[in-house]
Each structure stands twice: as C-alpha cells, then as structure tokens.
Amino acid sequence: MILRGFYLFRRLLTSARRNRQQAQADKIRDSFYLHCWREAAEACGAELAQNNEGVIWITQEGIGRPIYVNRNLNVLDSHASVRVTDDKPATYRLLREVGAPVPDHVALRADALKMALEFMRSQDGPVVVKPAAGTAGGVGVTSNIRTASELRHAMAWAGAYCSRVLIERHIQGDTYRLLYLNGELLDCVLRKSPSLVGDGSSTVRRLVRDENRRRLAEGYVRSQSLLIVDGDMKAALALQGLGLDSVPEARREFTIKYVANDNLACDNITALERISCSTARIGKNIVDKFGLKLVGIDIMTSDIGQDVAETGGAVIDINGDPGFYCHYFKNDDRVPLAEYILKEAIGSVSEAAVRPA
C-alpha cells in the first residue's frame, strides 16, 4: 500500500506540475488531430471551426447540426459502447467467446502481491502488468517483468491508475494494429517499439532528453509523444544490461520502451498485404462480437502472415476509439481515418434529418 501510495502521489504530482516540455507535447498531439480533422473537412466540403478551449466542430450545408470531435474520440459509436472495451478482463472474456487467443492472465487487486507472484511463477517467461480498466495508450503498463521486485513496482504503478490490475503472460513478437470500419479491414500496421542509438559518450538519460528535444522541434511528423521515464522504460533497459545512467557504445541500437505508443513515425510499417486470412477473420469476428463501427485490434505475434494461435501470439487489446497516428504516419499507404469517420458521420446526421418523426 505504501508503494502504491508513492506512485499515486507521483502521478498526481506529475499532473499538477506539468512541465513545459509535456505541455508542448500535448500541443503536438492536438496539432496532429487538428490537421487530420481539417483535412477531412476539406475533403468532405465541410467547414471546421475551433474555439479558444480547443473544441472542434464541423458543419456542412444540408446537415442540421454540427459534428463535434475531440482528438481520436470518434462520433460513430456511443460512449457507452466504447467503454465496454475499457475493462480489460471483461474484454478478454468476450474475446475467448469468439475463439480469439488471449494471453494467460489474472485480474487482481493492486495490493495482491502474493497471488501475483504465484501467477508469475506459473508462467514460462516474463509477465506484463496493466491497469485493469480506465487507461489507454500504454499508460501504467510495464512489460517484460521477471523478478519479484519488478512485479511489486509494476503493480504499484498500475495501481496508481486503477485499484485492479491485469497480469498476463508476456507474448513474444511484434505489435500489430488492425483497423476495422463497418466490418471492413482498412489497415494493418506493424508498430515497432521505440529505440535509440548510443554515441559512446551520452548516458541513456541524456539520449532520451535529446530525442525529446528533436520530437518537440520537428512536431508530429517525427512522433506524436515524448519518451517518458517509467517502469516500462526501466524494464526494457534492464533486460539489455542498461540503466538510465549507462553510456551505450557508439552505434549501439537499443530498445528504449516495449510499449509501442511512443515510437517514431518511421517505426510504423504497413503490413496489410501480409496478414493471414485466419487472422483477418479473427478480427472480423471480434468486430461482430463487440458491435462497434470503428475498432482497433492489437495483436502480438512473431509472424502476422500465419495463424495467430499457431505462432503463440494473442490479441492483447481492443480499442473502441483507436488513435490515428500510425495510420497517417508510416512507411507507405497512408489511411485518412478522420475523413472516413467524417463521411460516415455526415451520412448518419443527414439520414436522421430526413427521417420522419
């Protein structure tokens, strides 16, 4: 409880003392989404407006009311239906009902360390700890946990965001995002973990700081977020024999975090042509089960071209309001998701306007 209280305090302190860099990072993400929605409005012949608080609304002649948008929060599915995917243990139960492979896991109170240790020792390899509900974007997640000390800290960190935590087997492989709209597979993106390269004189901490400066200078064309020092970063470094004060040799490339949300644009690679039919079918079954128009499905696997279960892979997350970034900024085949969402929304509003009372 004391450790969890420490992390909760640290979380609140971080929120209360938002430093200049983090505020700038928020502006980068806001700028990215404003770019997406403005481009979508132009493509649909609509008008976009924004007030001083950052609220965006889109209007078009012929539709009776404005369409409000906020970053990646979509207007196609109700808030209640999207919230279904927030509860990770419940999501895993639904996934199993459609035959989708999920990691071995257990949901526990954030202070149930003894039971967590028993679960970790029952696994052949490392585990991942996540808040059981209420977060997205890799917040509160620590991967590749191998020791009791790492587990204790990871549970405390996740517990700062949710009183329950999900502990699951760490799946070996790469992270892929499958994007579905109205049951159609629009995109499949390999999202590589972020990495840095040593110069032989700088500490990891300095390399992280320098990378964040580049991200702030170049904006969302480089990345949509900053590299935040957390449990996932420390675990990734430890597995490679590094720490924040280590000095990696020149030209040594190393993973800085396992969670892919903080990667670079160049770390996102189109894999739509490589996805196996069985994996695409699993995704379609998931979409039908959850009943969402727009959904992002995260899969960990060593080979997206094979059946997920045969590779030992698993579905690790469902997103009812998936982020746009990896579909806009990647190696090729950009997918203008905001435009697709807006066209669908305009159609829905128009139909409602002409429907008889």
- The string of pLDDT tens digits covering residues 88-101 is 999 999 999 999 99
Report the pLDDT value the prediction gives residue 315, as an integer from 0 to 100.
96
Give dist(CA 229, CA 240) in Å, integer: 16
CATH 3.30.1490.20 domain range(s) in the chain? 104-170
Report the pLDDT value the prediction gives residue 349, as an integer from 0 to 100.
57
Q: Please give the structure tokens belonging to residue 120.
A: 């970790």
Higher pLDDT, 356 or 153: 153
Report the pLDDT value the prediction gives residue 11, as an integer from 0 to 100.
55
The strand ranges marked E within 140-281 are: 142-145, 164-169, 174-181, 184-191, 195-197, 253-255, 268-270
Smallest CA-to-CA distance from 48 within 67, 26, 27 is with 67
For the cut 90, the answer to whether the pLDDT of residue 49 exceeds it is yes
For the cut 80, the answer to whether the pLDDT of residue 348 exceeds it is no
| Mean local confidence (pLDDT), 300-319 | 95
* 169: three-class secondary structure by DSSP: strand
Topology adopted by domain 104-170: Dna Ligase; domain 1 (3.30.1490)
Give dist(CA 212, CA 190) in Å, integer: 23
Smallest CA-to-CA distance from 57 within 34, 29, 76 is with 34
Q: Please give the structure tokens belonging to residue 17.
A: 């003392």
Report the pLDDT value the prediction gives residue 43, as an integer from 0 to 100.
96
The model's pTM: 0.88
Report the pLDDT value the prediction gives residue 26, as an integer from 0 to 100.
86
Contact 290, 84 (CB under 8 A): yes
Contact 72, 65 (CB under 8 A): no
